[in-house]
């Protein structure tokens, strides 16, 4: 047996196994996040166009420094509408020709009466403001929505000083075990002792 040939073969097998495990892990993660495989699959859109990056910053009034989020938004919007790149370029050309400096200036200009331009601008704003593309459909396992960003969604920014962005167990482990301050500890079901909380809770009164 050719030992030299066996080494690349073993290496190739190892890489294939690693790719398989990564694929399984990614699939489980997406399932847990409620994202369909089709939604998160790579698209053929390629890197975001310069016009898209510039227009996204223009219409949102934000630097949008998260390149990954910008890339996801671009891929998914192109997937939803094959004509989206052309629409973005038309919006970019119109804004440059009108020499507009802000979205406020756009809304005050005749361009705001152009339904196609306004629709493109609104689509981009929605993706970054809400943090997803597409339209959610209630009571369905799948729809055409696609993840863009969660913590980076622009909807959090107006009240960021007072808003805690929801995450899992943001109050710490077992934060939900004890009743809120001022609320009497509830009695357990008949035949069971009074609820004393969780033994693992740092605030537990259980002996």
d(CA 123, CA 195): 50
Residue 125 domain flag: yes
Domain residues for the domain of 62 are 50-156
Range in 26-35, 40-49, 92-101 the model is least confident about: 26-35
Range in 55-69, 149-163, 187-201 the model is least confident about: 187-201
- Given a cut of 60, whether residue 30 has pLDDT beyond it is no
Long-range contacts of 57-64 (CB under 8 A, 24+ apart): 58/95, 58/102, 58/103, 58/106, 59/103, 59/106, 59/121, 59/124, 59/125, 60/103, 60/124, 60/125, 60/128, 60/129, 60/154, 61/102, 61/103, 62/128, 62/154, 64/128
Residue 78 domain flag: yes
* Structure confidence at residue 67 as a pLDDT band (50, 70, 90): very high
Residue 133 domain flag: yes
Interval 121-167: pLDDT, tens: 999 999 999 999 999 999 998 999 999 999 999 999 999 888 888 77
> To the nearest whole percent, how much of the chain has pLDDT over 70?
66
Residue 118 domain flag: yes
- Given a cut of 70, whether residue 83 has pLDDT beyond it is yes
Residue 87 domain flag: yes
Number of domains the chain contains:
1
d(CA 78, CA 146): 12
Residue 32 domain flag: no
Q: What is the pLDDT of residue 190?
A: 64
Q: What is the pLDDT of residue 80?
A: 98
d(CA 74, CA 97): 24
Residue 19 domain flag: no
């Amino acid at each position: 047996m050719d030992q030299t040939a066996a080494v690349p073969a073993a290496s190739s097998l190892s890489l294939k196994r690693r790719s398989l495990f990564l694929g399984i892990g990614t699939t489980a993660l997406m399932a847990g996040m409620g994202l369909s495989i089709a939604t998160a699959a790579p698209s053929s859109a390629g890197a975001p166009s310069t016009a898209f990056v510039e227009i996204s910053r223009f219409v949102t009034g934000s630097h949008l420094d998260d390149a990954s989020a910008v890339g996801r938004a671009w891929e998914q919007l192109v997937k939803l509408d094959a004509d989206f790149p052309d629409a973005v370029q038309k919006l970019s050309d119109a804004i440059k020709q009108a020499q507009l400096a802000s979205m406020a200036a756009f809304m005050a200009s005749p361009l705001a009466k152009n339904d196609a331009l306004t629709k493109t601008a609104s689509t981009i704003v929605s993706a970054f403001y809400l943090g997803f593309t597409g339209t959610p459909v209630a009571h369905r396992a799948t729809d055409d929505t696609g993840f863009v960003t969660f913590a980076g969604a622009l909807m959090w920014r107006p009240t960021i000083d007072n808003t805690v962005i929801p995450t899992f167990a943001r109050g710490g482990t077992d934060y939900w075990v004890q009743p809120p301050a001022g609320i009497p500890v509830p009695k357990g079901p008949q035949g069971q002792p009074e609820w004393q909380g969780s033994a693992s809770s740092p605030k537990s009164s259980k002996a």
